[in-house]
């Protein structure tokens, strides 16, 4: 009787004419019945010996892994990066070694604060993370759509994120909480102005630029250093939504960003971005009214050079395997690219790899999406879910028996230091001028969207002190901007001016 059932299921031919394959349990054994549990007689209890049922329920209950603590909702795509020239005079980084050189990539776009499954129409910066599978290991450029950030020191990141996440009491995001935090953070004025502009709700991921935000170092074979900022420019143009457009899109399709990217790629309309770099010599770092290694600042007036173009041309076959399990880390660097001394970046260099050891496990770099496309040779070993096969009994270095060698060309670049160990904020903060310049660069219509969206949230702030401190920051950035916001929330302009004068 059993063998007849088995044969019937293997030979089952669907009405579509497709020959069905026999299902198996995780141990590979064929499954006899995926519809009915094993019971003791017609009316008896279900038996624990139904190992297929038990395994199915166990695996189901374990389907979720912790969502990313930030950037939980994302959309990924594969593609390639093609260098537009030979930039070896500036960097040893191999994707830039010669014109036409191709490097495969995986990109994950994301929202930041809102959880997995939340509407993609909510205001947020957007993540733009690129994994370059280079021939010298993986390089992750983990950036955002906006060119700057809220804070300049990693010490403040968990507090800032707590203030932006839902209240621990109500589980609802609350402007009273995040403006309370930002009223102590004048350096955030620039980023808040960008986030509340129409760029805080992109029309599509394709119509969004990307930015590395921080300065990194480019290092050439002679050990010469340039500070470098990276900027992806969308060939599709850049488009954000006004508050009323966003409300309309949210009503129609709150997955508009994911749906747009999948549809475009599946229809063969492959989106493209050009990669630009801005370069500064170390001796130029003091030439500005601000510190160029401050992540709240752009580098206005520094020439941008195009170094390549990226095309995204394939969506993953499985969302979880690729997009959810992707581990992007600013510490995934390759020869020719090092972190700058930017304090925010220095914190990120630690934080991502650390969270991924928890979120995905000790061997997350062995998952296919994260695996380097070159041989990984070191003596890191074991740990949960290890898929590597050992290379004999020499699991240490140096050794005469297994001569793995270092290569001195890839030592850290030497950097001169001066001063004392200290805990002090950076000098030359210049907290407001770039926010004002950005406001003035917007058309009248876009200034209107910004004032509408920002005043909408500032009006919810119940504490008049917090509200007026925030208004004074925007007034200090630009008097027209601050006055319009003050008027919109029915604030006290004289008080705002007095507070702004003391900044």
Q: Which residue has the tokens 């707590």?
A: 162
Q: Which residues of 265-277 are buried (b: 16+ CB within 10 A; e: fewer)?
A: beeeeebbbbbbb
Residue nearest ligand HEM, Cβ-based: 127
Block residue for tokens 């020239």: 85
Which residue in the set 129, 241, 333, 337 belongs to the binding site for ligand HEM (CB under 6 A)?
129
Interaction of residue 432 with ligand HEM, rule CB under 6 A: no
Minimum separation from the CB atom of position 486 to ligand HEM (A): 30
Using rule CB under 6 A, residue 321 touches ligand HEM: no
Q: How far is the CB of 160 from ligand HEM (least distance, A)?
A: 9
Joined tokens for residue 80: 């390639």
Residue 74 near ligand HEM by CB under 6 A: yes
- Please state at what angle helix 157-164 crosses helix 175-182, rounded to 10 degrees: 150
CB atoms inside a 10 Å sphere around CB 294: 25
Half-sphere exposure of 44 (CA within 13 A, CB side): 7
Active-site hit among 52, 114, 144, 431: 144
Phi/psi for 181 (5° steps) reads -65, -50
Separation of CA 93 from chain center: 21
Question: Which pair of tokens denotes residue 10?
Answer: 């293997």
**Length of the chain (residues):** 503
Binding segment for ligand HEM (CB under 6 A), chosen from 228-236, 355-363, 439-447, 470-478, is 355-363
* Binding test (CB under 6 A) with ligand HEM, winner from 328, 438, 474, 481: 328
Minimum CB separation from ligand HEM for residue 118, in Å? 15
| Residue corresponding to tokens 């160029």 | 292
Coil vs helix vs strand at 135: strand
* Region of 139-147, 427-435, 458-466, 490-498 interacting with ligand HEM (CB under 6 A): 139-147
Residue tagged active-site, from 52, 71, 114, 256: 71
469 touches ligand HEM (CB under 6 A): no
- Strand 272-280 with 216-219, pairing: unpaired
* Minimum distance from residue 157 beta carbon to ligand HEM (Å): 4
Taking the complex as a whole, the smallest distance from the CB of residue 340 to ligand HEM amounts, in Å, to 13
Select the span of 141-149, 232-240, 310-318, 405-413 touching ligand HEM (CB under 6 A).
Answer: 141-149
Query: CB neighbours (10 Å) of residue 332?
Result: 22
Q: Which two tokens stand for residue 264?
A: 């475009």
Taking CB under 6 A as the criterion, which residues in 258-277 touch ligand HEM? none
Q: How far is the CB of 99 from ligand HEM (least distance, A)?
A: 28
Q: Is the dihedral of CA 247, 251, 255, 259 positive or negative?
A: negative
The tokens describing 240, both together, are 């954000």
Nearer Cβ to ligand HEM (157/319): 157
Residue nearer to ligand HEM on the CB measure, 149 or 481: 149
- Check if 138 is active-site: no
Least distance in angstroms from the C-beta of 424 to ligand HEM: 18
Separate counts of helices (H) and strands (E) for the chain:
14, 10
3-state SS, residue 420? coil
Nearest to ligand HEM of 108, 484 (CB atom): 108
Q: Which of 229, 348, 476, 484 binds ligand HEM (CB under 6 A)?
A: 348
How far is Cα 85 from Cα 100, in angstroms, rounded to an integer? 7
Q: Contacting ligand HEM (CB under 6 A), which of 78, 81, 132, 149? A: 149
Q: Exactly one of 204, 356, 431, 472 binds ligand HEM (CB under 6 A); which one?
A: 356
Q: Does residue 355 belong to the site contacting ligand HEM (CB under 6 A)?
A: yes
Taking CB under 6 A as the rule, does residue 319 contact ligand HEM? no
Residue from 255, 309, 351, 429 binding ligand HEM (CB under 6 A): 351
Other beta carbons within 10 angstroms of residue 424's beta carbon come to 6
Binding part of the chain for ligand HEM, among 236-244, 348-356, 421-429, 465-473 by CB under 6 A, reads 348-356
**Is 352 a known ligand-binding residue?**
yes
What whole-number distance in Å separates Cα of residue 99 and Cα of residue 282?
A: 27
358: Cβ contacts below 8 Å, ≥ 6 apart: 66
Q: Which of 348, 361, 401 is nearest to 379 (CA)?
A: 401
From residue 279 to residue 298, the character string flagging contacts with ligand HEM as x (rule: CB under 6 A) and all else as - is ----------------x---
- Does the protein bind ligand HEM through residue 145 (CB under 6 A)? no
Q: How many residues make contact with ligand HEM (CB under 6 A)?
A: 28
**Cα-based torsion angle of the residue sequence 204, 205, 208, 210 in order, rounded to the nearest 10 degrees:** 170
Q: Measured from the CB atom, is 46 or 69 closer to ligand HEM?
A: 69
Closest CB 338 distance from ligand HEM, rounded Å:
17
* 144 a catalytic residue: yes
Residue 142 binding ligand HEM, by CB under 6 A: yes
**Cα end-to-end distance, the chain, whole Å:** 86
Alpha-carbon torsion, ordered 143, 145, 151, 154, to 10 deg: -20
Known catalytic residues are: 71, 144
Tell me which residues touch ligand HEM (CB under 6 A). Answer: 68-71, 74, 108, 110, 127, 129, 142-144, 149, 154, 157, 213, 295, 326-328, 344, 347-348, 351-352, 355-356, 359
Binding site, annotated residues: 352
Binding site, annotated residues for heme: 352
């Amino acid at each position: 009787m059993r063998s007849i059932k088995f044969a019937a299921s293997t030979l089952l031919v669907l009405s579509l004419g497709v020959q069905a394959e026999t299902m198996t349990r995780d141990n590979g054994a064929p499954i006899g019945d995926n519809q009915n549990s094993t019971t003791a007689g017609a009316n008896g209890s279900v038996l624990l010996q139904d190992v297929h049922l038990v395994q199915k329920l166990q695996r189901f209950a374990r389907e979720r892994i912790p969502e990313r603590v930030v950037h939980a909702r994302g959309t990924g795509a594969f593609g390639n990066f093609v260098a537009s020239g030979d930039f070896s005079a500036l960097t040893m980084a191999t994707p830039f070694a010669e014109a036409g050189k191709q490097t495969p990539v995986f990109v994950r776009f994301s929202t930041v604060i809102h959880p997995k499954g939340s509407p993609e129409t909510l205001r947020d910066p957007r993540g733009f993370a690129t994994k370059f599978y280079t021939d010298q290991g993986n390089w992750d450029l983990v950036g955002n759509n906006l060119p700057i950030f809220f804070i300049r020191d990693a010490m403040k990141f968990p507090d800032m994120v707590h203030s932006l996440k839902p209240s621990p009491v109500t589980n609802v995001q609350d402007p009273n909480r995040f403006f309370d935090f930002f009223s102590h953070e004048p350096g955030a004025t620039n980023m808040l102005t960008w986030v509340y502009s129409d760029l805080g709700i992109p029309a599509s991921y394709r119509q969004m630029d990307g930015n590395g935000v921080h300065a990194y170092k480019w290092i050439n074979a002679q050990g010469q250093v340039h500070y470098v900022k990276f900027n992806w420019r969308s060939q599709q143009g850049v488009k954000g939504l006004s508050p009323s457009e966003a409300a309309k899109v949210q009503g129609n399709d709150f997955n508009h960003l994911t749906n747009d990217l999948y549809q475009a790629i599946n229809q063969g309309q492959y989106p493209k971005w050009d990669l630009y770099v801005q370069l500064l010599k170390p001796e130029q770092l003091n030439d500005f009214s601000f510190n160029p290694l401050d992540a709240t600042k752009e580098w206005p007036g520094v020439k941008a050079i195009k170094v390549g173009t990226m095309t995204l041309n394939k969506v993953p076959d499985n969302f979880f395997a690729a997009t959810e399990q992707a581990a992007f880390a600013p510490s995934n660097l390759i020869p020719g690219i090092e972190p700058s001394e930017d304090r925010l970046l220095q914190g990120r260099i630690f934080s991502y790899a650390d969270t991924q050891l928890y979120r995905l496990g000790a061997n997350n770099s062995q998952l296919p999406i994260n695996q380097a496309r070159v041989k990984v040779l070191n003596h890191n070993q074991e740990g949960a879910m290890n898929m590597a096969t050992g290379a004999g009994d020499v699991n240490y270095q140096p050794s005469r028996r297994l001569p793995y060698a270092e290569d001195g060309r890839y030592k850290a670049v030497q950097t001169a230091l001066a001063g004392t160990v200290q805990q002090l904020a950076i000098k030359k903060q210049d907290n407001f001028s770039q926010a004002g310049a950005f406001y003035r660069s917007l058309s009248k219509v876009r200034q209107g969207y910004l004032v509408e969206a920002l005043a909408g949230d500032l009006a919810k702030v119940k504490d008049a002190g917090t509200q007026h401190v925030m208004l004074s920051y925007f007034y200090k950035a630009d008097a027209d901007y601050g006055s319009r916001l003050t008027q919109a929330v029915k604030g006290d302009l004289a008080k705002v001016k007095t507070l702004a004068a003391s900044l």
